[in-house]
Amino acid sequence: MKRVVTSEALPLYLWVDDLEDEAMEQAKNLANLPFAFHHVALMADAHVGYGMPIGGVLATENAVIPNGVGVDIGCGMRAVRTGLQELSLEQLKTIHHQLKRVVPLGFKHHRRPKALDLMPELADTDSAADLPVVSDEFERARRQLGTLGGGNHFMEIQQGSDGFIWLMVHSGSRNLGYQVAKFYNKLAARLAGQERTRLIPAKWQLDFLLLDSAEGQRYLREMTYCTEFAQANRREMMRVMQEVVVGVSGCGSFDPAIDVAHNYAAMERHFGREVCVHRKGATRAAAGEYGIIPGSQGTSSFIVRGLGNPDSFASCSHGAGRVMGRKAAQRQLDLAEELRKLEDLNIVHGMRRRTDLDEAPGAYKDIDQVMANQQDLVSIEVELQPLAVVKG
């Protein structure tokens, strides 16, 4: 790690060396939570978020924090190695065009709901009581399955250092996860407001639910369903990507997918205790476990193996991490310069306007430095260079 901060109730372990003041303040808030456990870990891509820094890892005892997971519950990565060793520029352009046509982007959904068997299975219980938000959103979610969304979500075709073409998808739980997160964050705030003396200042945006409460257990169930839905969403998009690639290239083989989430909470054992580990923009990196760390649309991504470092709660970064906010990128970055970066690398992309600069390479940290800062967390298996990128 880069350094340890010991000024708070619990220490902060940092793998990042360029953390904004606001993100550091958020991390210190985490370290002073009465139910926080052992220490707080900040990954190499950490930056400011809502309540908790993105790229943060927090373990708690008998508490779960909706803002410690975030609004895109289960957001993550899926990567597949193809049997191809190359694609021509014309093939890449054709695949890029077809993906934009067949996969709904941004706020768009499918016109017809997806088949029920593509959705995560509901438990044999009274789902309206056990999963109230999921039950209410279920039919709308069927039309969101297999859709990319916006922001930093993407589909990408990559050239691997292993000599093969790879496919990658970054997406989450769409409006389903957002509605669950919003509902339980408001519930946690309302319950906190009913206490005579708040345990946590409201301005921290870290209202919590007790794990031994009915509300806390309902959140865990709904969060888990959203995580499963996010994985199903990526699975369906990857299926479509593979169909498009087969149609254009005749590719006949695909390896099993690697799929990892980076926004969730889970019960795990660390430092001799069963605790609730919140990973908000962080990927689990248990010893020998495959992971995916994407860069920006103009830089490398990486297939990695975890080293199981206990000081990071067996976690690593979820990407490069932002170096500036979306509005700041649109104001400050030079469109011609950012386009030149992509065109010099012959990357097929969709960046055209100043409003697209929020996802320009210059809006992100140096992925090579991010990887250098976490050599004690993961080992690099394959480096992936972008060939064609579809952004949400």
In a domain, 208, yes or no: yes
What pLDDT, on the 0 to 100 scale, is given for residue 197? Answer: 64
In a domain, 350, yes or no: no
In a domain, 48, yes or no: yes
| C-alpha separations of 74 from 42, 127, 329 in Å | 19, 20, 26
Flag whether the pTM goes above 0.85.
Answer: yes
In a domain, 161, yes or no: yes
Q: For position 224, which CATH number holds? A: 3.90.1860.10
In a domain, 341, yes or no: no
In a domain, 43, yes or no: yes
Specify the number of domains making up the chain.
Answer: 1
Token reading at 186: 């408001």
CA atoms in the 13 A half-sphere facing the CB of 149: 22
Percent helix / strand / coil, the chain, rounded to 5: 35, 25, 40
Query: What are the pLDDT tens digits along the chain (392 aa)?
Result: 999 999 999 999 999 988 999 999 999 999 999 999 999 999 999 999 999 999 999 999 999 999 999 999 999 999 999 999 999 999 999 999 999 999 999 999 999 999 999 999 887 665 778 899 999 999 999 999 999 999 999 999 999 999 999 999 999 999 999 999 999 999 999 999 887 668 899 999 999 999 999 999 999 999 999 999 999 999 999 999 999 999 999 998 999 999 999 999 999 999 999 999 999 999 999 999 999 999 999 999 999 999 999 999 999 999 999 999 999 999 999 999 999 999 999 999 999 999 999 999 999 999 999 999 999 999 999 999 999 999 98
Residue 197 has φ and ψ, to the nearest 5°, of -125, 120
The catalytic site residues sit at: 318
Instruction: Note down the domain range covering 201.
Output: 3-323+364-391
Q: What is the 3-state secondary structure (H, E, C) of 144-199?
A: HCCCCCCCCCEEEEEEECCCCEEEEEEECCHHHHHHHHHHHHHHHHHHHHHCCCCC
Specify the 3-state DSSP secondary structure of 286.
Answer: coil
Question: CA 319, CA 306: separation in Å to the nearest integer?
Answer: 15
8-state DSSP, 255 = P
| C-alpha separations of 265 from 138, 281, 282, 286, 291 in Å | 22, 11, 11, 15, 17
